[in-house]
């Protein structure tokens, strides 16, 4: 599946500009994140709890958003009615479309201690109409890893520094919407070999087959980016969803890469959930029961 030429062209301009000598970063952290518009990341979604941005997400179909399971561990017991998703907007707080959810399907094996199986499929209450600002991103196929020539971008409204994230935690109770960026941002990162990533985290947590690591000096995702898309772009602008922002020790810490849920590793699970929903919708239609 290809994006519109407009998007591919816009992106190559943006990538071109980034490689043409823009200062790499302003020191550590996600401060290196560039401001962007939704037209360049039309698959980006904001997952919201009681109207506050809590996580990113990726539009993967006209009824589906993929995000992290840990986005739903905050309040328990929670109701699907407390959550919504904004799509098609560069701002998480306004614009685009705000949709309610029909169902939240966290992976059954999600483990909050190990962060293993950190993904959830959201089923939207309405069918999305795709536009230049709103597109689904194709999923990595099972076993597919980013190739060396692939440009990896992670986008989101998350904290722009680890310090900001820490301060926000001290201010607990002020609601998760505060402190995150109002305009969508992105950074370039590089795929980190799983062996190297295991070594980095050897005293912290196991890096499993279901995880993928990415890092670049001064560039990282951070709190509030969770659930958001790590996408690989080929030179022709073709996009593939490889990862979901999951966890890391600090943000842009040179010793600890960002850890992402590997979409390739869960491709079968995702297909099965989407397929089951399709069958239910079809059967619901036949029996007249919605
Ligand atoms: N768990 C964080 C969240 O809830 C995402 C952390 C990503 N960390 C990193 N260093 N890449 O938003």
Whether 1 is covered by a domain: the verdict is no
| Predicted confidence (pLDDT) at residue 3 exceeds the cutoff of 60 | no
Whether 286 is covered by a domain: the verdict is no
How far apart, in Å, are the Cα atoms of 163 and each of 86, 90, 169, 253? 27, 24, 10, 12
Atom of ligand 1 nearest to the CA of 250: 10
Whether 288 is covered by a domain: the verdict is no
Q: What pLDDT is stored for residue 44 in this prediction? A: 98
| pLDDT, mean over the chain | 84
Coil, strand or helix: which one is 23?
coil
Q: What is the DSSP string of 157-178?
A: S--SSHHHHHHHHHTTTS-TTT
Mutate to test the pocket of ligand 1, among 68, 161, 227, 245 (most ligand atoms within 8 A of CB): 245
Rounded to 5, what percent of the chain is helix, strand, coil?
A: 20, 30, 50
Integer Cα distance of 31 and 162 in angstroms: 10
Which tokens belong to 257? Answer: 């890469």
Query: Is the Cβ–Cβ distance between 104 and 80 less than 8 Å?
Result: yes
Query: Is the Cβ–Cβ distance between 65 and 124 less than 8 Å?
Result: yes
Whether 287 is covered by a domain: the verdict is no
Query: Is the Cβ–Cβ distance between 239 and 137 less than 8 Å?
Result: yes
* Spacing, Cα 258 to ligand 1 middle (Å): 7
Q: How confident is the model at residue 80 (pLDDT cuts 50, 70, 90)?
A: very high
Query: Is the Cβ–Cβ distance between 11 and 233 less than 8 Å?
Result: yes
Whether 40 is covered by a domain: the verdict is yes
Whether 2 is covered by a domain: the verdict is no
The count of domains in the chain is 1
Cβ density class 191-217: b for 16+ within 10 Å, e for less: bbebeebeebbeeebebbebbbbbbbe
How far apart, in Å, are the Cα atoms of 42 and each of 12, 63, 152, 230? 15, 15, 16, 13
pLDDT per residue as tens digits for the range 99-140: 999 999 999 999 999 999 999 999 999 999 999 999 999 999
* Spacing, Cα 232 to ligand 1 middle (Å): 19
Q: What pLDDT is stored for residue 75 in this prediction? A: 60
* Ligand 1 site, residue 225, Cβ cutoff 6 A: yes
Mean pLDDT of 135-155: 93
Whether 289 is covered by a domain: the verdict is no
* Ligand 1 site, residue 260, Cβ cutoff 6 A: no
Q: What pLDDT is stored for residue 183 in this prediction? A: 93
Q: What pLDDT is stored for residue 16 in this prediction? A: 31
Q: How confident is the model at residue 224 (pLDDT cuts 50, 70, 90)?
A: very high
* Ligand 1 site, residue 189, Cβ cutoff 6 A: no
Share of the chain above pLDDT 90, in %: 68
Q: Are strands 185-192 and 211-215 parallel, antiparallel or unpaired?
A: antiparallel
Q: How confident is the model at residue 2 (pLDDT cuts 50, 70, 90)?
A: very low
pLDDT per residue as tens digits for the range 241-284: 999 999 999 999 999 999 999 999 999 999 999 999 888 777 77
CATH number at residue 145: 2.40.10.10
- 184 is in which domain, residue-wise? 8-280
The residue ranges of DSSP E strands in 78-210, in sequence order, are 83-87, 97-106, 120-124, 151-156, 185-192
Mean pLDDT of 43-66: 97
Mean pLDDT of 21-38: 51
Whether 59 is covered by a domain: the verdict is yes
Q: What pLDDT is stored for residue 254 in this prediction? A: 95
| Predicted confidence (pLDDT) at residue 39 exceeds the cutoff of 70 | yes
Mutate to test the pocket of ligand 1, among 223, 229, 256 (most ligand atoms within 8 A of CB): 223
| Predicted confidence (pLDDT) at residue 166 exceeds the cutoff of 80 | no
Which tokens belong to 122? Answer: 């959201």
């Amino acid at each position: 599946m290809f994006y519109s030429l407009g998007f591919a062209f816009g992106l190559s301009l943006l990538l071109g500009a980034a490689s043409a000598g823009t200062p790499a970063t302003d020191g550590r952290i996600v401060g290196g994140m560039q401001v962007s518009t939704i037209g360049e990341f039309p698959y980006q979604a904001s997952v919201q709890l009681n109207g506050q941005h809590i996580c990113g997400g990726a539009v993967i179909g006209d009824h589906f958003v993929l995000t992290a399971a840990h986005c739903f561990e905050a309040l328990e017991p929670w109701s699907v009615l407390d959550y919504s998703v904004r799509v098609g907007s560069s701002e998480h707080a306004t614009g685009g479309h705000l949709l309610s959810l029909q169902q939240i399907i966290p992976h059954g094996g999600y483990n909050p201690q190990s962060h293993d199986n950190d993904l959830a499929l959201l089923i939207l209450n309405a069918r999305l109409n795709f536009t230049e600002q709103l597109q689904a991103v194709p999923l990595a196929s099972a076993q597919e890893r980013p190739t060396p020539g692939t440009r990896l971008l992670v986008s989101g409204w998350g904290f722009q520094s680890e310090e900001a994230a820490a301060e926000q935690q001290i201010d607990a109770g002020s609601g998760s919407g505060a402190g995150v960026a109002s305009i969508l941002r992105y950074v370039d990162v590089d795929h980190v070999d799983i062996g190297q990533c295991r070594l980095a985290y050897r005293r912290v947590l196991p890096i499993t087959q279901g995880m993928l690591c990415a890092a670049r000096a001064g560039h990282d995702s951070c709190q509030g980016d969770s659930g958001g898309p790590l996408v690989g772009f080929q030179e022709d602008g073709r996009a593939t969803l490889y990862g979901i922002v999951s966890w890391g020790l600090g943000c842009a810490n040179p010793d600890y890469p960002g850890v992402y849920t590997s979409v390739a590793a869960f491709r079968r699970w995702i297909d099965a959930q989407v397929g089951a929903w399709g069958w239910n919708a079809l059967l619901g239609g036949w029996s007249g029961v919605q």
